[in-house]
Amino acid sequence: MSDTIPPRRPLTLRDVSEASGVSEMTVSRVLRNRGDVSASTRQKVLNAARDLGYVPNKIAGALASSRVNLVAVIIPSLSNMVFPEVLAGVAEALEGTDLQPVVGVTSYRPEKEEKVLYEMLSWRPSGVIVAGIEHSETARQMLRAADIPVVEIMDVDGEPVDAVVGISHRKAGRRMAEAILKQGFEQIGFLGTQMPLDHRARKRFEGFTETLAKAGLEVIDQEFYSGGSALLKGREMTQAMLDRSPDIDFLYYSNDLIGAGGLLYCMEQGYDIPGRLGLAGFNGVELLQGLPRQLATMDTERKQIGREAAGIVAARAGGAVGGGERVELEPKISIGDTLRRYKP
């Protein structure tokens, strides 16, 4: 855990007034969308507010300086099986407190994250838990300016705004590569999501390929997808890659759902797994328990991440001094039935 960081001062209308060069009354009119203000003045105020990270307070009157007993939890998806487990951990940790989680979904889009943050922060929650460390500069400014605990989750590979809870995805990629190499696989293909917006998958891939390079190997084929049924995409991508590169002896999937689709396809085609072809996914989702063969994967401690993050918010909302907390959890490899060629 890092040293305590200095407390942040909440931004006020005066800050926006000084930055924009107009009166506080005019700033108030612009931000409340009231009154007759010229387009140029309006834009000047909005630009200053955005640059500062200022978010108007929707709690009116005598309650204007108060906080509500809500914790904003901002995640990229509810359809991804990973994040409901995180939410379960958050809810569990807040049980017995006065705090309640409220959820915003960004669909992995930075501009939507900005909008969700703006709306949630305007209600002055008692804390923010947000997935990932990568944000637009506008979103980072809003998080920095919020006079509340901010906990970024899932990933510790980067510079957080405040507290951070998660795993190192680069380390996760390295560990999976080491396990694959230990079993003698050399012709390796990678199948995953489009990575420009999936920063955590990109970091795992970087750690994975760096470790292969140290052994004199590289990924010999890659296949990517976006949208649609993950199980079906896993089957389709696996078929395409094996048709294109029949010498591949290992398939590494960026998540378990496409890995499960790939495993079902390979079993139907009669592949000797893992003798002829090994497979591994990522996340350790419960769905894998129902497959006819156990897919190798890596458990990312998602529920514990939710617990730890909510615990930081609850402690600081309750008066504990904090700031800059760092909790790094260790991902655990599950060998399953698809990775081990040789007995230890």
Q: What is the pLDDT of residues 87-118, one digit of tens each?
A: 999 999 999 898 999 999 998 899 999 999 99
* Domain end position, chosen among 261, 281, 300: 300
Burial zone of 287 (CB within 10 Å; 0-12 exposed, 13-18 middle, 19+ buried)? middle
Q: What is the predicted pLDDT for the residue at 36? A: 81
Decide if 257 is inside a domain.
Answer: yes
Helix (H, G, I), strand (E, B) or coil at 252: strand
Decide if 112 is inside a domain.
Answer: no
What are the residue ranges in the chain where pLDDT is below 50?
1-2, 4, 61-62
| CA distances (Å), origin 213, targets 97, 216, 217 | 49, 5, 5
Give the C-alpha separation, 101 to 120, whole Å.
11
Q: What is the predicted pLDDT for the residue at 296? A: 96
Please state the length of the chain. Answer: 344
Helix (H, G, I), strand (E, B) or coil at 216: coil
Decide if 110 is inside a domain.
Answer: no
- Cα angle at 196 between 191 and 74, to 5 degrees? 105
Q: What is the predicted pLDDT for the residue at 195? A: 67
Which residue segment(s) compose the domain that 28 sits in?
1-54
Q: Please say whether the beta carbons of 334 and 296 come within 8 A.
A: yes
Number of domains in the chain: 2
Q: What is the CATH number of the domain that holds 41?
A: 1.10.260.40
* Domain end position, chosen among 54, 70, 87: 54
Q: What is the predicted pLDDT for the residue at 68? A: 86
Q: What is the CATH number of the domain that holds 224?
A: 3.40.50.2300
Give the C-alpha separation, 165 to 160, whole Å.
10
Q: What is the predicted pLDDT for the residue at 322? A: 84
52: left (phi over 0), alpha (psi -120 to 50) or beta: alpha
Please tell me the pTM assigned to this model: 0.80
Q: What is the predicted pLDDT for the residue at 62? A: 40
Decide if 7 is inside a domain.
Answer: yes
Decide if 260 is inside a domain.
Answer: yes
List the beta strands (DSSP E) in the chain.
70-75, 100-105, 127-131, 150-155, 163-167, 188-193, 221-225, 250-253, 278-280, 297-299, 326-328, 332-334
Give the C-alpha separation, 161 to 10, whole Å.
15
Decide if 317 is inside a domain.
Answer: no
Give the C-alpha separation, 59 to 67, whole Å.
8
Decide if 288 is inside a domain.
Answer: yes
Decide if 127 is inside a domain.
Answer: no
